[in-house]
Structure formats: structure tokens, C-alpha cells
Structure 1
Amino acid sequence: MRIKTDPSASHEKELINWWSVVARYFGQTSPLLGFDLIYEPADKLNHNMASLNRVYDKTIRLIHAIDPQRMIFVAPRMRAAPEDLSALKLPAQSQNYVLAEWHIFPWGPPEKRR
């Protein structure tokens, strides 16, 4: 996903267009299908919260214009770090159908065990 390494307007548009195709394809299918917009925002997108929030806002609005009850998952910056959840700015009219995701992966014990 090129928007992670270059959050430019052209890559933002590319991502939004891709989700438009997906939303139109799945349309009003099973509500059990949710869309995870950007799994683990990383690279340059980590340092551009305004761009991340803008692309989330535009994409959520577009998807919900096509399918108003589609569940959408969004992740905060820094590979879905929970401490950045409060920095997410999401469209108010979509709040019942947008879920924030976060995770922390254990990387093993801090010391080698003998």
C-alpha cells in the first residue's frame, strides 16, 4: 500500500478509489463482513496524523454512502498502537459503524531463559 510510504494526495485518492470498488462489489451483502481500511499504519503515515485522519474520513464517508451499515475498522498510527487511539478523528455520523482496532504483540521474554 503506497500511502504508507508516501501519504500524498495521489496515493490517498488511489486508496479511496480502491475501497470504492470493494464497497460497490460487496454492496449490501452480509453484515458479518467488515472492512479494515489500513492495517497497521506505518512508515511515513506514522508521522502524518492529519493525512491518516483525512483518508479515514473520506474513505468512511464514501463507503457509508454506498453501504451505510458496513462495519469499518480503523487503526491508530504506529502500527495500531493503543496510546494513539485518542488521536483518531472520525466522522460523527458513522460512529455506530466504525470500530477502532489496536494491538500489542508480545515479542517473547525480555531475557533468554536458561
Structure 2
Amino acid sequence: MDNLHWLPPLSSLKYLNLSGIDLREETNWLQEVATLPSLLELRMIDCNLNNFMINSFFEYSNLSSLVTLDLSENNFSSQLPNAFFNLTKDITYLGLSFLKIHGNIPSSLLNLPYA
């Protein structure tokens, strides 16, 4: 996949699975995904996302409808950014497997179901 420019016209898209797509070289992926106001489920497993990319995603995304988010198996090894906690207030499933997260995790996230 060369780019994600095809995403913005799909404003009523509810489910997006980008798993396995290497997003390291895709410079505009964040802008493309962040323009999906109806998105309920976003899976970006093993997309080679690094700390900067994931932090930027949480900082600049306005995905208020999101209930499922899976960022498992990416190159993230940091504390969760503060913006993460704003984005995840309505999350019912959060996939963070095989990430090297450290720091405090709010108790509200500990009550999410396992998949």
C-alpha cells in the first residue's frame, strides 16, 4: 500500500484494520486516520509504529466514537502519553500486547475485558 489517501472520503467508515501494514514510511497516516469521525474499531497490530508515531496519534486524533483500539506488537516502549487517557474514555477493548509500556495505568483500564 503506497498511501492512505483513500481514507478521508470514507467518513462513515466504522471498522478499519491496518494490521500488518508497515506505516513507518507513510508520513500522512495519522492525518488520514484522524479524519474518520464514525470510526468504532481501529486495529493497527504490527504496523511498525514507534514512540513518536503512537504519541502523535493520541495527541492529534479526535476519534470520539472509538470503542475498540488495538496497537499490539508495535515498537512502542514508553509511558502512555496523557492524551491517551482522553481518547480512551469510551474504549471497551484495548489491545496493547507486546508493547513495552511503563508507568501508571489508570484503574479504569484494568476493568476492560480480555479478548
Taking structure 1 as the reference length, the TM-score comes to 0.44
Larger radius of gyration: 1
Q: Which of structures 1 and 2 has the larger relative contact order (alpha carbons within 8 angstroms, sep 6+)?
A: 1
Q: Which protein is richer in helix relative to its size?
A: 1
Taking structure 2 as the reference length, the TM-score comes to 0.44
